[in-house]
Structure 1
Amino acid sequence: MTAELLSLQHLVLFLAFLASLAFGAVVQATGFCTMGAVADAVTLRDFTRGRQWALAAATAMLGFAALAFLGILTAPQTLYASTRWLWLSALAGGAVFGFGMVLSSGCVSKTLVRAGAGNLKSLVVSVVTGIAAFATLRGITAVLRVATVDRVAVETGGNTDLATLLARGSGMSLAVAALVAGGVLGLALLAWSLAAKESRRPLNLLAGLGVGGSVLAMWWITGHVGHLAEHPQTLEEAWIATSSTRAEGLSFVAPTGYALDWLLYFSDANKRLTVGIVSVVGVLAGSALVALARGRFRWEGFAGTGDLGHHLAGAVLMGVGGVTALGCSIGQGVTGLSTLSLGSLAATLAMVAGAVAGVRYQAWRIERDA
């Protein structure tokens, strides 16, 4: 690799670390949590944290629409690009992930945030999730995934995102279609997220804008800073320092698996740092900094074997489900949604449904034990 390419790679990795550091700090400071949002809505009919998520998704969606309109980055250039709509994988994986994140007391990003603040339960969950994720990427559950749900798909003849479909059906340019589709859906989410007075409190605004802004920052870093119209070695379009060799946003299931793989095979010259791996480290660091500054860093372990069993089961479900669905509640529920991917829409709805089932299961278990 030339000195210029190496310098660009280091810049992309450093900026990705800063974006994920900000994400971890914001989530630790505000309590942003997708699983908590679902639990609050189901048990308390409180949508405050749900509106935080909607604000994050709206911020990322409107920002991505602007990037597409300006010609900086479009959905077909991202990790979520595909001409096959894997709807069954999105639904099955999303539901499994959603149920698992309830058993694990939070999604993968929240688990990393808690681990950064000294929660040893979350550290164990993160490691097991990473192992299950890597097995579903390349191991035994990958074989099962490819042989079952991934076989079911709808061929669309073009990229499976709403902007591309709108452009094909209306004759608009992709840039204009992305602005229209992203603008309409993003503004609708924005309006709902800010409709309640409680959601306009500084803490809730910081949660939504901070998470959404971090996702958007990662799109700009990988899609613009790390973009090469023509790689000097391959003479093809390239996105530097990403696992997929395409533009990537914030996501945490597969990157946790890749981070473990990088650590285990550190001396292997073929293993290289990617934005996903440094994002895992950045979230841990951002959370730790805020926790230490606020005096909230404390060690915490499992309450007993039952607690351990549920968290381990949830970790496995998140690893398998997250890879099958192509992302977690952030990777699909914010990052993927910002591209208007049909797979992301299906996966997000399935994650919510799975989480609702998980919350009801937990409530049933508590009543049974009582």
Structure 2
Amino acid sequence: MLNFEMYEWVNILGLIIGLVFGAVAQAKQFCFSGSIKDYILTKSTKRGASVIMAMIVAIVASAVVSSLFELDFTTTQYYKSNINYVTIILGGSLFGAGMMLADGCSNRQLVKFAQGDSNSLITIVFVAIFAYATAKGFLYGLFSPLTNNSTLIEWSSFIQNSTMNIYVIVGILVLFLLYLIKDIKRIMTLGDGVIIGLLVALAWYVTGVLGEESMERIIPLTGITFVYPTAQSVELFMFYQVNELSFAISLVCGVLLGTFVMTFFNKKYSFGCTASQNLNRTKYNMLGGALMGTGGVLSIGCTVGQGLTGLSTLAVASGVAIASILLSGTITALILNKYNKLPMCFIFEWQDRPDYQI
């Protein structure tokens, strides 16, 4: 009964990784964009600390997996030849603005939708449409003079897309983490970051080690990412004969299912937060989704695809991408907050604070 082909086991494990990711993200509301919003609105650093912890664990755990099983991360999309840093920065900037306008990045929208926020479905659909259009459709041709510009590619070659020093990057992240947590005892509350970081390394193992044994299909060495896989999921839903179920699509389905199941145990976050504030979010969801779909493809990943998975390979391009996303997201959030359009859903703060509330 369990006599599956190896590529089927890869898909099953992708579904399981997604299940765990969705359950953890729902229980703790793990979110890149939310961590920025928390600090701007309440000076809370709890979710930001979880994000940094996930980065540290993803980098270290992926390095261990790479060393033990001889995985070559330079064969992944994060080290693609003819890198164009202008495109990377533009894509990251578009994605960062989009995730703030839509109130959540691509994986966050999957979690929000599965936990009961129907507005997020609008964003998911627009992410899928514009990601596909940028990768293979009308927008691909529109951006082609920029993405394939020989002058920009030549300029980009002066900064080689090499591997960053793991000790320097992890050291910087550890210092940043210590600044955010203030009290070393609080590290014990960042379990969500640890689990999600480990899932990144597990994804590398599944696609790189188990996937290598697949004789029926070629399994590319990939990690956890959500923008283009969301587009692929919609394509699979509409044209099943054309597209085949993959690790990335299984991952997206797992996040939705894991979040939905966790919502039954954790009622605290199982609703949208903007309806009661009299804000019409539809236009923001549409525009934000469009920007994230386009930007995520141009920057070769989203906050998770570049901020965790890409960064775990220590590619220079991933560092540039996530820096662009965070800078753009912060600027956009500050502008939205100025006009009182940055809604606060919940308060996330350290439980050892006397003024802690939720």
Q: How far apart are the structure 2 equivalents of 1:339 and 1:274?
A: 22
Report the equivalent of 1:225: 210
CA contact (8 A) 1:20 1:286 kept: yes
CA contact (8 A) 2:79 2:317 kept: no
Local SS of the residue matching 1:65 = helix
Aligned residues: 334
Do residues 322 (structure 1) and 296 (structure 2) align? yes
- Structure-2-length-normalised TM-score: 0.85
* Cα distance change of structure 1 residues 199 and 36 upon mapping to structure 2, 3 Å threshold: farther
- Structure-1-length-normalised TM-score: 0.83
Q: How far apart are the structure 1 equivalents of 2:188 and 2:123?
A: 28
Q: How far apart are the structure 1 equivalents of 2:6 and 2:157?
A: 36
Identical residues among aligned pairs (%): 27
Q: How far apart are the structure 2 equivalents of 1:297 and 1:274?
A: 30
* Cα distance change of structure 1 residues 53 and 298 upon mapping to structure 2, 3 Å threshold: closer
Measured against aligned partners, the alpha-carbon deviations of 1:336-357 in whole angstroms (never above 9, x if no partner) come to 0011112111110110111112
**Pairing of 1:168-317 with structure 2 (within 5 A):** 181-194=165-178, 196-197=181-182, 200-201=185-186, 204-228=189-213, 239-240=218-219, 246-266=220-240, 268=241, 270-296=242-268, 298=270, 300=272, 303=275, 306-317=280-291
Unmatched runs of 5 consecutive residues or more in structure 2: 342-358
Q: How far apart are the structure 1 equivalents of 2:248 and 2:146?
A: 27
Measured against aligned partners, the alpha-carbon deviations of 1:289-342 in whole angstroms (never above 9, x if no partner) come to 111122357564974783211111111111111111111100001110011112
Shift of 1:191: 4.6
Q: How far apart are the structure 1 equivalents of 2:281 and 2:183?
A: 33
Q: How far apart are the structure 1 equivalents of 2:210 and 2:183?
A: 37
Report the equivalent of 1:48: 46
Q: What value does the CA root-mean-square deviation take over the aligned residues?
A: 2.6
AA at the equivalent of 2:30: F
* Cα distance change of structure 1 residues 200 and 312 upon mapping to structure 2, 3 Å threshold: farther
Q: How far apart are the structure 2 equivalents of 1:51 and 1:77?
A: 31
* Cα distance change of structure 1 residues 17 and 160 upon mapping to structure 2, 3 Å threshold: same
Shift of 1:38: 1.4
Shift of 1:76: 1.4
AA at the equivalent of 1:347: A
Report the equivalent of 1:103: 101
Following TM superposition, the consecutive aligned residue runs of length 4 or more in structure 1 with deviations greater than 4 angstroms are 154-159, 197-200, 296-302
Q: How far apart are the structure 2 equivalents of 1:40 and 1:273?
A: 37
Q: How far apart are the structure 2 equivalents of 1:146 and 1:190?
A: 39
Shift of 1:192: 3.3
Measured against aligned partners, the alpha-carbon deviations of 1:249-297 in whole angstroms (never above 9, x if no partner) come to 100000000000000112x2x3101111111101011111111122357
Report the equivalent of 1:120: 118
Report the equivalent of 1:60: 58
